[in-house]
Structure 1
Amino acid sequence: MKRISVDIGGTFSDCFFVWDDIYIESKALTTHHNLALGFNEALDRACDRAGISRETALKEVDSVRYATTLGTNALIEGKGPRVAAIVTHGFEDTIPLSRGRGYGEGLDGVKQGDMPDAQRPDPLVPRRLIRSVKERIDSVGEVLVPLMYDDVRTQVRDLVNNGAEAIVIALTNATENSVHEDRILEIILEEYPTHELGSIPVLLSSQVSGRKGEYVRAMATIVDAFLHETMFHALNQLSNNLRDSGYEKPMLVIHNSGGMAQPNSTDALQTIHSGPIAGVGAAQHLSESTGLGDVVSMDMGGTSFDIGLVPEGGVRHYDFQPTIGRWMVSAPMIHLNTLGAGGGSIAAYNRIHHAIQIGPESAGSDPGPACYDRGGLRPTVTDADLVLGYLDPDNYANGHIKLNKKRSIYVIDETLSDELDLDAVEVAKVIKKTVDEQMAIGIEKELRSRGGLIEDYTMLAYGGNGPLHACGIAASAGISRILFPPFASVFSALGAGNMRPLHIHERSAYVVLYEAIKRSLYNKYEALNGYIAELEEKGAEDLVRQGYDRADVRYRLEMDMRYGNQLVTTAVAFDINRVNGVADVLHLIKTFSEIFGERYGEGTQAPEAGIRVQTIRVASYIEGEVIAFESIETGGEKTKPAPVTHRKVHFTSITGAVDTPVYDADALKHEYVIHGPAIVTTENTTYLVEPGWRLEPTVQGAVWLLSD
Structure 2
Amino acid sequence: MAVARPSRAAAGRGTHGRPGSYRRRWTKGPGSHRRGSPPAQHCQGDPVTYTIDIDTGGTFTDGLIADHDSERVHVVKVPSTPHDPTVALLDCVTEAARRLQLPVPALLAETVVLRYANTIATNAVIERRGAKIGLLIGPGQPWPGWLVEDGWTDTDMVERISTADALTAFQQLVDRGAQAVVVAMAEPSDEQAAKKAIRREYPGQFLGATPVFATSEVADGEDSAARINAAFLAAYVHRHLAGYLHRAEERLREQGLVRPLLVVHSSGGASRVARTHALNTYNSGPASGLLGARALAARYGVRHAITLDMGGTSVDLGVIVDGQAPLEETSHIAGLHVDLPALRILAVGGAGGSVVTVRDGVLLVGPESAGARPGPACFGLGGLAPTVTDADVVLGHVDPQYFLDGRMPLDPDRAAAALQPVADALGVSLAEAAWQVKETVARMSAEHIGQIAAGAGLSEDDLHEAVLVVYGGAGSGHAAGILRASGLRRALMTPYSAVFSAYGSSGLDVVHGYSRRAEDDPVSLGAALVQRARRDMAGEGFDEVTLALTATCIVDGVSHELMVDSPEDLAGLTGVSRVGVRAVAPVPHVEFTPEELGDPDPAEARRGEREAYWGNQIWSLLTPAYDRRLLRPGHRIAGPALIDGADTTTAVPPGFVLSVDEYGTEVLSPSDL
Q: TM-score range by the shorter chain?
A: 0.7 to 0.9
**Cα pair distance change 1:697/1:634, threshold 3 Å:** farther
User: Cα distance 1:666–1:235, how it changes in 2: closer, same or farther (>3 A)?
Assistant: closer
Q: Are positions 1:165 and 2:179 aligned together? A: yes
The number of aligned residues is 617
1:18 matched to which residue of 2?
Answer: 66
Preserved CA contact (<8 Å) 1:290 1:630: no
Residue number among 605, 608, 611 corresponding to 1:645 in the alignment: 608
CA shift digits 1:489-539 (9 cap, x unpaired): 1111111222111112223469xxxxxxxxxxxxxxx95555544433333
| Partner secondary structure for residue 502 of structure 1 | strand
- RCO higher in 1 or 2 (8 Å CA, sep ≥ 6)? 2
* SS of structure 2 residue aligned to 1:379: coil
CA distance in 1, matches of 2:661, 2:562: 32
- Distance, in Å, in 2 between the alignment partners of 1:454 and 1:612 is 37
Equivalent of 1:446, from 452, 462, 481? 452
Q: CA deviation at 1:703?
A: 1.7
Q: In 2, Cα distance between the equivalents of 1:322 and 1:627?
A: 30
The alpha-carbon deviation at position 318 of structure 1 amounts to: 1.4
Residue 659 of structure 1: aligned partner:
622
Q: Which residue of 2 aligns with 1:343?
A: 352
8 Å CA contact 1:209, 1:220 repeated in 2: yes
1:603-635 deviations in Å (ceiling 9; x for gaps): xxxxxxxx998755432111233211345x873
**Code of the aligned partner of 1:166:** A
Find out whether 1:122 has 2:151 as its counterpart: yes
Q: TM-score, normalized by length of structure 1?
A: 0.82
Give % identity: 29
Letter in 1 for 2:535: E
2:313–2:354 CA contact under 8 A, matched in 1: yes
1:131 aligns to 2:156 (yes or no): no
Decide whether the 8 Å contact of 1:556 with 1:573 is kept in 2: no
**Residues 504 and 440 of structure 1, relative CA distance in 2, 3 Å threshold:** same
1:553 aligns with 2:559: no
- Whether contact under 8 Å (1:668, 1:697) holds in the other structure is yes
Cα deviations by residue, 1:113-145 (Å, 9 ceiling, x for unpaired): xxxxxxx5212x3221111222xxxxxxxxxxx
Cα distance in 1 for residues equivalent to 2:311 and 2:562:
31
Partner residue, 1:384: 391
Residues 81 and 226 in structure 1, CA contact (< 8 A), matched pair in contact too: yes
CA distance in structure 2 between the aligned counterparts of 1:36 and 1:699, rounded to whole angstroms:
37
What TM-score results when the alignment is normalised by the length of structure 2? 0.86
Shift of 1:336: 1.0
| In structure 2, C-alpha distance between the alignment counterparts of 1:359 and 1:614, rounded to whole Å | 44
- What aligned pairs does 1:562-577 form with structure 2 within 5 A after superposition? 574=563
Specify the alignment match of 1:395 in structure 2: 402
Kept after mapping to 2: 8 A contact 1:370/1:378: yes
- Matched residue of 2:478: which SS? helix
Counterpart of 2:477, as a letter, is: L
Deviations 1:51-80 (A, max 9, x none): 212110100110211111111111121112
Give the Cα–Cα distance (whole angstroms) in 2 for the partners of residues 349 and 577 of structure 1: 62
> CA 1:12–1:530 in 2, change beyond 3 Å: closer, same or farther?
same
Is the aligned partner of 1:703 residue 2:663? Answer: no
Q: Which moved more, 1:538-547 or 1:199-208?
A: 538-547
Does residue 8 in structure 1 map to residue 56 in structure 2? yes
The one-letter code sitting in structure 2 at the alignment partner of 1:126 is D
Change (3 A) 1:630 1:212: farther
Structure 1 residues 373, 342: CA separation in 2 closer, same or farther (over 3 Å shift)? same
Change (3 A) 1:347 1:634: farther
Which residue pairs with 1:43 in the alignment? Answer: 93
Spell out, residue by residue over 1:416-470, the C-alpha distance to the aligned partner (whole angstroms, 9 max, x if none).
2232112221111111000111111111111122112212311111111111111
Please tell me whether the aligned partners of residues 303 and 342 of structure 1 are also in contact (alpha carbons under 8 angstroms): yes
Give the SS at the match of 1:307.
strand
| Alpha-carbon spacing, 1:676–1:317, altered in 2? closer, same or farther (3 Å) | same
Residue 330 of structure 2 contacts residue 338 of structure 2 at CA under 8 Å; is this kept in 1?
Answer: yes
User: Is 529-538 or 381-390 further displaced after alignment?
Assistant: 529-538
Q: How does 1:523-542 map to 2 (within 5 A)?
A: 528-542=522-536
Instruction: Describe how 1:502-517 pairs up with structure 2 within 5 A.
Output: 502-508=511-517
Q: Superposed, which structure 2 residues align to 1:261-410 within 5 Å?
A: 261-313=271-323, 315-351=324-360, 354-410=361-417
Query: Does the C-alpha gap of structure 1 residues 699 and 580 become closer, same or farther in structure 2, counting only changes over 3 Å?
Result: same
The verdict on how the C-alpha distance between 1:420 and 1:365 changes in structure 2, with shifts beyond 3 A counting, is same
* 1:154 lines up with 2:154 in the alignment: no
Residue identity opposite 2:110 in structure 1: E
User: Equivalent residue of 2:367, what SS?
Assistant: strand
- Find out whether 1:257 has 2:267 as its counterpart: yes
Tell me the residue number matched to 2:145.
96
- Aligned partner letter, 1:27: K
Shift of 1:372: 0.6
| Contact 1:343-1:381 at 8 Å conserved across structures | yes
- Find the aligned partners of 1:573 and 1:369 in 2 and give their Cα distance: 51
Equivalent residue number for residue 468 of structure 2: 459
Contact 1:667/1:680 (<8 A) preserved: no
Look up the SS of the partner of 2:197 in the other structure: helix
Gaps of 5+ in 2: 1-47
Task: Sort the Cα spacing of 1:626 and 1:645 in 2 relative to 1 into closer, same or farther, 3 A.
Answer: same
- Distance of 1:561 and 1:298 partners within structure 2: 36
Q: Say yes or no: does 1:72 pair with 2:81.
A: no
Cα distance between partner residues in 2 of 1:412 and 1:300:
21
Q: Secondary structure at the match of 1:368?
A: coil
Cα distance, 1:247 vs structure 2? 1.1
The 2-side partners of 1:486 and 1:667 are apart by 11
**2:198 aligns to what SS in structure 1?**
helix
RMSD after superposition: 2.6
Structure 1 consecutive aligned stretches of length 4 or more whose deviation exceeds 6 Å: 559-566, 611-614
Q: Identify if the C-alpha distance between structure 1 residues 564 and 289 changes in structure 2 by more than 3 Å, giving closer, same or farther.
A: farther
Alignment CA distance shift 1:87-1:288 (3 Å): same
1:164–1:418 distance in 2 versus 1, CA, 3 Å? same
| In structure 2, C-alpha distance between the alignment counterparts of 1:320 and 1:269, rounded to whole Å | 14
In the alignment, is residue 623 of structure 1 matched against residue 586 of structure 2? yes
Counterpart residue type for residue 96 of structure 1: G
Q: Give structure 1 stretches of 5+ with no counterpart.
A: 103-119, 135-146, 511-525, 586-610
What is the alpha-carbon distance in structure 2 between the residues aligned to residue 613 and residue 463 of structure 1? 43
CA 85–418 in structure 1, closer or farther in 2 if over 3 Å, else same: same
Distance in 2 between residues matched to 1:418 and 1:331, nearest whole Å? 48
SS class of match (1:194): coil
Please give the residue correspondences for 1:564-643 in structure 2 after superposition, counting only pairs within 5 Å.
Answer: 574=563, 580=569, 616-631=579-594, 635=597, 638-641=600-603, 643=606
CA contact (8 A) 2:318 2:344 kept: yes
Structure 1 contact 559–617 (Cα < 8 Å) conserved: yes
Q: Distance in 2 between matches of 1:50 and 1:279?
A: 25
| Whole-angstrom CA distance in 2 between matches of 1:581 and 1:202 | 34
Match of 1:486 in 2: 495
Q: 1:676 to 1:562 in 2, by over 3 A?
A: farther
**Closer/same/farther in 2, CA of residues 205 and 45 from structure 1, 3 Å limit:** same
